[in-house]
A and B are shown apart, each in its own frame.
Chain A
Amino acid sequence: MEFTLLWAALTAAALGWLGTRLWPAGLPDRPADRLLGAGAIGLLVGRIVAMIAQGTSPLLHPGDILVVRGGVHTAGATVGALVAYLWSVRGEIRYLDAITPAALLALAGWHGGCLWRSACLGVASDLPWAVAGPASVVSRHPVELYAALALAAAAWAVARLSLRPMLRSGLGLAAAGMARLLTEPLRLSLTGGPTGWYITAIAFGLVAALAGPRVIAPRARAVT
């Protein structure tokens, strides 16, 4: 992993840790460790899925797995992190609800880490807050900062919800998908971006929030 990505990862880790301090209700022991561990596993799973999608075997080219900048599959990373976190708390959904605001804040940190990577800019714009990159005269939307602000706002809002099983986690997933979907048109892209996955995340998150307690996790307990 190159150093600028490492700084972005450290920003995400710092904000994730802060999130566990700001919203400690219902968290398991060592919540930041579990969150960061799940994030790291999600990153590796997302990278492996991206390699397979590109037609590269992770077994034949294991060194590629560490080339995170080569691409990380959004859905693979999300599922990998969710499964890893749930495994670490022995499948207790209530701990997933409790960590959701901190996870959203960590995600905001990952996007805000674009500042260290010089990778905040999207499509050209004449708006007053648009900025030009180094050696460029073209002003552009700081789109990754928009996403970071949206995710931080989602973290704050989700933390105000009750701890009814899957309400926070479902709406948090939907909010993360929505933050990415709404900012995607402002990003520069060669492949169109994974908008299908964002829509899937929104739909799944809303279903989980509305019907989760009955359909997905009927025996889940709310934090008391």
Chain B
Amino acid sequence: MRRLLPIALVVAFFSSCGGPGPDTSGVPDLPEMTVAEFEAKLAALDRPAVVNVWASWCIPCRSEAPLLNAAFEAHGGEIEFIGVDVEDNQPDAKAFLAEFGLGFEHVFDRNRSIPNRFAGFGTPITFFFAAGGELMSTHNGIIDERGLALGIDELLRIDP
């Protein structure tokens, strides 16, 4: 019994990190957007943009979400952040946004036509666009803090 006690305490500690599902009542449906509409949106931007492709079922996206929030908080005033939710459904997508509190704009792309247009593969993907919508670089797969910071720094040096 004494040997099981530490294990039980560790399990209880880890379990306490979870909890009931997030409250999605305050999260609106994500607007659907076509490729043409998305390209027009990027072209109209007068500042660079970081576009992150995610999905609620994507395990690495969970690890990326806090990092994207940190980047948005640090650079949201000078760079546009846009999330593109792909191959997902609205309830799960809203639960994901509620759980991580991602404060920037997100669009819904059920057929993943937007990342396909920019030749990204897999999920997650992070695209870095200059002002006016020119694609500068693509990071396929999960991006870490240094990679995201480097991509942002490159954008800021193109469009000061």
* Complex Cα spacing A183 to B59, Å: 32
Q: Across the interface, do B70 and A57 meet the contact criterion of CB distance under 8 Å? A: no
Question: Nearest chain B CB to A114's CB is how many angstroms away?
Answer: 9
* Complex Cα spacing A59 to B154, Å: 38
Please tell me if B146 contacts chain A, counting CB pairs below 8 Å: yes
* Complex Cα spacing A124 to B147, Å: 14
Residue in contact with B14 in the complex, picked from A58, A71, A188, CB distance below 8 Å? A58
Residues on the B chain within 8 Å of A123, using CB? 153
Closest chain A residue to B142 by CB distance? Answer: A69
Closest A-B pairs by Cβ, 9 of them: A70-B63, A188-B149, A57-B18, A57-B17, A60-B18, A59-B14, A54-B66, A190-B70, A63-B59
Q: Across the interface, do B67 and A69 meet the contact criterion of CB distance under 8 Å? A: no
Residues on the A chain within 8 Å of B145, using CB? 71, 189-191
Q: Which of B63, B74, B149 has the most CB of A within 10 A?
A: B63
* Complex Cα spacing A58 to B146, Å: 24
Interface residues on A, range: 20 to 34
Residues on the A chain within 8 Å of B137, using CB? 135
Question: Nearest chain B CB to A117's CB is how many angstroms away?
Answer: 9
Residues on the B chain within 8 Å of A138, using CB? 153-154, 157
For this complex, 26 residue pairs linking A to B, each with C-beta atoms less than 8 Å apart, are: A51-B17, A51-B63, A55-B66, A56-B62, A59-B18, A60-B18, A61-B62, A64-B59, A64-B62, A64-B63, A69-B63, A69-B142, A69-B143, A69-B144, A70-B62, A70-B64, A71-B67, A121-B150, A124-B153, A135-B137, A187-B146, A188-B146, A188-B150, A188-B153, A189-B145, A190-B145
Give B57-84 interface residues, CB cut-off 8 Å to A. 59-60, 62-64, 66-67, 70-71, 74
Please tell me if A207 contacts chain B, counting CB pairs below 8 Å: no
* Complex Cα spacing A51 to B59, Å: 12
Please tell me if B11 contacts chain A, counting CB pairs below 8 Å: yes
B contact residues vs A (CB 8 Å cutoff): 11, 14-15, 17-18, 59-60, 62-64, 66-67, 70-71, 74, 136-137, 141-150, 152-154, 157
Q: Across the interface, do A133 and B150 meet the contact criterion of CB distance under 8 Å? A: yes
* Complex Cα spacing A74 to B150, Å: 21
Residues on the B chain within 8 Å of A61, using CB? 59, 62
Question: Nearest chain A CB to B119's CB is how many angstroms away?
Answer: 14
Residues on the B chain within 8 Å of A187, using CB? 146
Residues on the B chain within 8 Å of A182, using CB? none
Please tell me if A52 contacts chain B, counting CB pairs below 8 Å: yes
Residue in contact with A57 in the complex, picked from B14, B64, B144, B147, CB distance below 8 Å? B14
Closest chain B residue to A143 by CB distance? Answer: B146
Question: Nearest chain A CB to B66's CB is how many angstroms away?
Answer: 5
Give A174-191 interface residues, CB cut-off 8 Å to B. 187-191
- A32-71 vs B, Cβ < 8 Å mask (1 yes, 0 no): 0000000000000000000110111111110110010111
Residues on the B chain within 8 Å of A136, using CB? 154
Closest chain A residue to B68 by CB distance? Answer: A190
* Complex Cα spacing A193 to B8, Å: 33
* Complex Cα spacing A110 to B96, Å: 33
* Complex Cα spacing A59 to B14, Å: 6
* Complex Cα spacing A191 to B137, Å: 22
Residues on the B chain within 8 Å of A56, using CB? 17, 62-63
Q: Across the interface, do B154 and A70 meet the contact criterion of CB distance under 8 Å? A: no
* Complex Cα spacing A55 to B67, Å: 12
Q: Across the interface, do A71 and B147 meet the contact criterion of CB distance under 8 Å? A: no
Question: Nearest chain A CB to B41's CB is how many angstroms away?
Answer: 24
Closest chain A residue to B14 by CB distance? Answer: A59
